[in-house]
Structure 1
C-alpha cells in the first residue's frame, strides 16, 4: 500500500476482491478508471465507474463488467458475446484482443459512469446508444481509434461516462 499524501494506492489484487465482496453483499462501489483499454468512453485517472450487483440475466452483450478472466487477471471490459455461462469480453479501446470468462467469475457490473464529475446511469438512452453503436463498429474500430488518438477527441456530446 502506498500513501502519496492524499490518496491511498492499493494494488488491484488486494482491492478488487474486497470490491467483489462488497458488491456480493448488495453494495455499490465507485472506482477511478485506470488504464486505456476502455478509451474512448472512459479516460484513465479522470473518469470513475460505479459497480454494483447483478443477476445472470443482466450479463448480456454491451454490459461492462469487472471479472477475472481465464488467465486469472482481473479486468474491466465489455461483454461482446455470451454463450450460456461463457462470456467473451473486449475493451472499448481494443481492436481484437478478447478475454474469456464465465458468469461465476464476474464480480460486478457497471451501473453508472462519472465523466467529468457528471454521473450517467448505464440504463440511460444516451449511454445505451453509444454502447450499441460502438459494439457494431468493431470491424472499423481500428480506424476510429486512430482518429480519436491522433486528435485526442471523442464525440463532443459524449459527456456522460468511467472504469478501473
Structure 2
C-alpha cells in the first residue's frame, strides 16, 4: 500500500510539473536518484526545467515514458526523430522516446547555491568526454565514489 501511495504522489508531482512547463513556466526540482552521477547528485543538486525548444545531443531532458514513468537523462543520440537517452551513470541502459514524450529541458543546475549553465563550453566538454569514456565508466564511477566517501569522512 505504501508503495502505491508513493507512486501516486510521484505521478501527481510530475503531472503538476508537466502542466507548469507546458504553460511556459520554469520549474526547479531536486535531483532524486543516482542515474545522472557524477554530473547531478541526489540531495545536492537542483535543476530548472523549461519547455524544450530545440533538442541536441548532450541536452538533459525530462520525459514521460509510455509506461508513465518520469526520467531525467541526457540525450545520447537522435535517430529518425527518436531520442536515445542515457543516464550519465548508466553503462548500458538506454531509453528511446519521441518528441511527444519530452516534458522539458534542463536550463540551469543549482549546486550549493551556485548556478551552472549545463550548456556552457566547459560543461559541454565534460559531458562529451564522459560520453566517450563509456567503456571505462564503471571504474571511474567506483573511483569517484571512493574519493567522495573519503571527502565526507574528512568533513
TM-score (norm 2): 0.85
Check conservation: 2:52, 2:102, Cα contact below 8 A: no
In structure 2, how many angstroms separate the alpha carbons of the residues matched to 1:142 and 1:118? 28
Match of 2:18 in 1: 20
Match of 1:104 in 2: 100
Please give the per-residue CA displacement for 1:38-64, whole angstroms capped at 9, x wherever unaligned. 111111111100111122xx2221011
Check conservation: 1:70, 1:100, Cα contact below 8 A: no
Check conservation: 2:63, 2:70, Cα contact below 8 A: yes
Match of 1:64 in 2: 60
Aligned-residue CA RMSD in angstroms? Answer: 1.6
Match of 1:149 in 2: 145
In structure 2, how many angstroms separate the alpha carbons of the residues matched to 1:123 and 1:92? 15
TM-score (norm 1): 0.80
Check conservation: 2:52, 2:61, Cα contact below 8 A: no
Residue 65 (structure 1) shift: 0.6
Count of residue correspondences: 142
The DSSP-based 3-state class of the residue aligned with 1:41 is: coil
- The structure whose Rg is larger is 2
In structure 2, how many angstroms separate the alpha carbons of the residues matched to 1:79 and 1:64? 6
Runs of 4+ in 1 over 2 A off after TM superposition: 69-72
Q: Where in structure 2 are there 5+ consecutive unaligned residues? A: 1-7, 150-155
Q: Please state which structure has a larger fraction of its residues in helix.
A: 2
More RCO (CA 8 Å, sep 6+): 1
